[in-house]
Amino acid sequence: TISSVLSKRDPKYLPYWVECLPLWVINPPLVPKWVLYKKELLLPRTGSITSIQAVYVPADDLTDPAPATTFAHLDATTVLSRGLAAKGIYPAVDPLDSTSTMLQPRIVGEQHYETAQSVKQTLQRYKELQDIIAILGLDELSEEDRLTVARARKIERFLSQPFFVAEVFTGSPGKYVGLAETIRGFKLILSGELDGLPEQAFYLVGNIDEATAKATNLETESKLNK
C-alpha cells in the first residue's frame, strides 16, 4: 500500500499523510499543506511515488472550490460522466473534462497530440450543438454541423472499450489495442473515410478494422431481417 511504501521511505512523515489525505478534498486550505508533505517525501530520495486520488465533486460541479483547488496540484485527472454511463458507454470517462499535463507534442509526439486535439474539438462542437438539436432537431443544422455530429457520435462510441475484466458484463471478448492503432482509428473517423458506416459499428470494438467488419455484419443482418 501507499502507506507502507511511505513508512519505509521516511516514517516521520506518515502521520501527516494519514491526517491530511482524508480531508484535503473537502477542505481546500489543507491542500497546500498536503502538497508540501508530499513534496518533502520525494525530495530527499531518488525515484518517485505515483498515487491515485479519488476526488468527490459536489453536484458534479468541477468549478467547486474543493475539487478545483485539488486539480491544480494533479498531473492528470480522469473525470467520469453520468451522461456517458447512461448511454451505456464504458469506461464512462469524459474526454473533455479529463486532463493530462503529459499531452504535449514534445512528450507524446505531434501526431498523437494533433489527433487528440481534433477529437476534443469535434466532441466540444457536438456538445455545443446538443441544445439546438434537442429544441429544433438535427435537420435544422447545417450540413457541416450534421457531419460533425455524426463523426462525434462515432468517436464517442469508439472510445468505449471492451475490457478483459468486463467480459462477463458486456458479453464481448476483451481487446488490446496499441497506441498507433488507436491514433489511426481516430484519424480515419476525423478524415471522413468512415462516414458511411453506422455509429453502432464503433461500439465496444478493438481497432478500427473491427469496426469496419462489424459494419459489414450489421448490413448483412439488416438485409436478412427484411
From first to last of its 226 residues, the chain has per-residue pLDDT tens of: 444 444 445 555 445 444 455 444 445 555 555 565 565 655 555 666 677 788 888 888 888 887 887 787 788 999 999 999 999 999 999 999 999 999 999 999 999 999 999 999 999 999 999 999 999 999 999 999 999 999 999 999 999 999 999 898 888 899 999 999 999 999 999 999 999 999 999 999 999 999 999 999 999 888 888 7
Q: Assign a CATH topology to domain 77-226.
A: 1.10.1140
Would you state the cell numbers that stand for residue 57, as one nine-digit string? 465533486
Nearest CA to 201 out of 210, 188, 191, 190 is that of 210
Question: What's the whole-model pTM score?
Answer: 0.78
Q: Tell me which amino acid residue 5 is.
A: V
Nearest CA to 5 out of 54, 38, 53 is that of 38
Rounded Cα–Cα distance for residues 186 and 202 (Å): 11
Task: Return the domain boundaries, the chain.
Answer: 1-74, 77-226
